[in-house]
Structure 1
């Protein structure tokens, strides 16, 4: 979790994700929590009629969520009371709320389950693709944001022992790779609010290497999002074909974006355009 004062705590991310579950699925009850010390600590609940789920801690391989946590895949109990594929350690909490159908979705980041989101119904409710898809989408969006936060914190840690102007060249190059990857992730996110938050993180990443760069150029240039995308990848030495594959574009489209960016930056080559963009603080 980021320690900067303007960063949203991870617990608030969970609360927002649970709120999204309640709005975007057909389940009347939604709850979830982060993984900590091998257990899921439920911190956000929406739609519950009782307080039986409050403060619930679900341990690995115990109950439905504990299995989802370890197996890193969604788990469903259509009739929770008689489900044989799970332990019933948490019957008092789940059945106390009157939940019959329970759907648990892990939030997997870099191969590790970081949280589990739950959807519950008080009666047996079939869970097909149409019903499950919104819940899986919320989990994917939360995973993307947690992944970005992890990467930003890792980059910030590189600068924690000294000023940015002594940032090693290898670390600076990794910073640029992370920026390009972040822009690729953001391009595939449909949620405007999440994209806005990712853009704010991109701006912070771009500023991390500014002290190590030559004096900033005073350029009144505004690049389109896709122009920044292709420049970020071009700055990694990728060919037009490689950029196209990374961003899901046609090679001719990549060339057009590069040419537009070069024109705006008054640069005769892609390398000059990348250099000017960096000096203008548009790229790390």
Structure 2
């Protein structure tokens, strides 16, 4: 794996995707990058035999990858050298690496193309569904992760300061509670350590607002992450079945977590548990 200069964790995300795709695809060379100011900057390469594609920058709309970005669909050049449906701005890099067949899959988030993953072969190679599927999965995974990161950043920017807690309207408090519950459900599905840290930063900020608004002293009640996930969903009025679907748990497991949280909070019902958690500043 050749890891080039990475400006941020998003580039590291692409690097991991390229590594994983290189292990799961039949293509010998895999590379990719994200779009910045109208161009895709290749920041990760796996399997290359030369340095021809190092630092490759592809303008949106140009070349195979640029066309995939514009069309928001995969593009294939079975015989790249003679392909007539693309521009050949990047022949020096692609042919310099000796690539004969090139497959480009755009990374799409909420209808916007954010980058491209490329798979190349040094000989002409057919690309059926079985061969293409790992690239589709990899691009979808990166797109999903980017969408989560965007949402985390948006919520972090909108989260009120603890000083502003006292002035929150009932509607604003409800939005805060929904944000907290949604972030807990997102965090339950995230493996990336850097993204988990960003999620935790938002949650801590929301919890600080909750504590400021509660006006209650410190509590020795300690809920486990999963107990907090379940209670946060309960605060939105979700049933056990709905919580199970949201958190990808069995309904019986949800019930167990809820009962444990209720015991710690000395509450006989879920509503009482939510109310006490809010008074203690555990929930917003």
Q: TM-score, normalised by structure 1?
A: 0.78
- Bigger drift between 168-177 and 129-138 goes to 168-177
- The structural deviation recorded for 1:99 is 0.9
- The structure having more radius of gyration, on CA atoms, is 2
Does residue 165 (structure 1) correspond to residue 163 (structure 2)? The answer is yes
How many residue pairs end up in the alignment?
Answer: 271
Partners in 1 of 2:67 and 2:274 — Cα distance? Answer: 47
- Bigger drift between 18-27 and 168-177 goes to 168-177
Q: TM-score, normalised by structure 2?
A: 0.78
2:152–2:199: 8 Å Cα contact kept in structure 1? no
Q: 2:261 is matched with which residue? A: 261
Partners in 1 of 2:60 and 2:255 — Cα distance? Answer: 50
What's the secondary structure of 1:88's corresponding residue?
Answer: coil
Q: Deviations over 1:89-125 (max 9, x none)?
A: 2222211111122222222222211121112111223
Does residue 221 (structure 1) correspond to residue 222 (structure 2)? The answer is yes
Of the candidates 204, 209, 212, which is equivalent to residue 206 of structure 2? 209
How is 1:116-265 mapped onto 2 (pairs within 5 angstroms)? Answer: 116-159=116-159, 163-166=161-164, 168-169=168-169, 170=171, 173-187=174-188, 193-194=191-192, 196-213=193-210, 214=214, 215=216, 217-223=218-224, 225=226, 227-240=227-240, 242-244=242-244, 246-247=246-247, 254-255=254-255, 257-265=257-265
Q: 1:3 is matched with which residue? A: none
Q: Quick one: structure 1 residues 81 and 74, their matched pair in 2 at CA, closer, same or farther if it must change by over 3 Å?
A: same
1:216–1:279: 8 Å Cα contact kept in structure 2? no
Q: Deviations over 1:64-96 (max 9, x none)?
A: 211221222222222222333322222222111
Partners in 2 of 1:128 and 1:220 — Cα distance? Answer: 56
2:149–2:195: 8 Å Cα contact kept in structure 1? no
2:180–2:206: 8 Å Cα contact kept in structure 1? no
